[in-house]
Structure 1
């Protein structure tokens, strides 16, 4: 691992914590306004206030879900690193640093085959997620990471390949 990798990871963590803190302040302000609206006693205020209270709860649930996924992805990466099985980003890149999509698609096949052969193995889903990411398919990469996380925590996969 290069010397800049831990610094980059720390910077990313600081940014994530700072954004979460800002979002928490925003959610707190929205919840405060919601309680004030409910406190008016007027029908419109009560209905709007109640609706606004749902939003902070939803936001908090989504934030918690993302943090739990991030923590589990880090645990999975640590386990793979200890086993010497972390995905290696050795795909050719353009001068601007973008991954060559043709090479990414070609490298994608073995990871998909791995998951199809053993869909209950979280390591395969983890590798597939990074193959999807390299190929530019962020939504499938995220879905594969969620499946890897579920399997890593001992829960069965919810569905087939994303």
Structure 2
């Protein structure tokens, strides 16, 4: 199981456990008749709702990215991670950076192609820039959605 998926499953489980355990306390605080109790009880409700929203958003993003990956896999276009690695498993950064330059040039040649953005996201990841990799995947999802809407 991938580390990110395992983390998401564990976080979802912890949030559900929190909801069950804290539920009685929230009810007692909200119905206590005290303003402070009601505010604390409300905070105990709002915090997990924010967590549920965030987790739901991340799960939905994962589903969308997986849909794109499945589409590319069906067509034999899914990027292959064949970058050389050290004995410890670290990607050779010079090769990853060279691959990144290729992927970036492909996107610049056709910025409306979601597949190129998808590939660029994995090049960002291989180069160690996870934040931009996620942003680029979000852009690929948006482009693919727009292309489906046009068809």
| Structure 2 portions without partners, runs of 5+ | none
Mapping of 1:8-157 within 5 angstroms? Answer: 8=1, 16-17=8-9, 19-154=11-146
Alignment TM-score, normalising by the size of structure 2: 0.83
How far is 1:15 from its partner?
Answer: 6.8
Distance across 1 between alignment mates of 2:8 and 2:84: 29
| Distance of aligned partners of 1:110 and 1:30 in 2 relative to their CA distance in 1, 3 Å threshold | farther
Alignment TM-score, normalising by the size of structure 1: 0.78
| Distance of aligned partners of 1:148 and 1:30 in 2 relative to their CA distance in 1, 3 Å threshold | farther
How far is 1:13 from its partner?
Answer: 5.7
Q: Is the 8 A contact 1:99 1:134 kept in 2?
A: yes
Instruction: Please give the per-residue CA displacement for 1:87-126, whole angstroms capped at 9, x wherever unaligned.
Output: 1111111111110112111110121222233333221221
How far is 1:130 from its partner?
Answer: 0.5
Total equivalences in the alignment:
147
How far is 1:16 from its partner?
Answer: 4.5
Look up the SS of the partner of 1:153 in the other structure.
Answer: helix
CA RMSD across the alignment: 2.4
**Higher helix proportion:** 2
Distance across 1 between alignment mates of 2:23 and 2:140: 34
| Structure 1 portions without partners, runs of 5+ | 1-7, 156-162
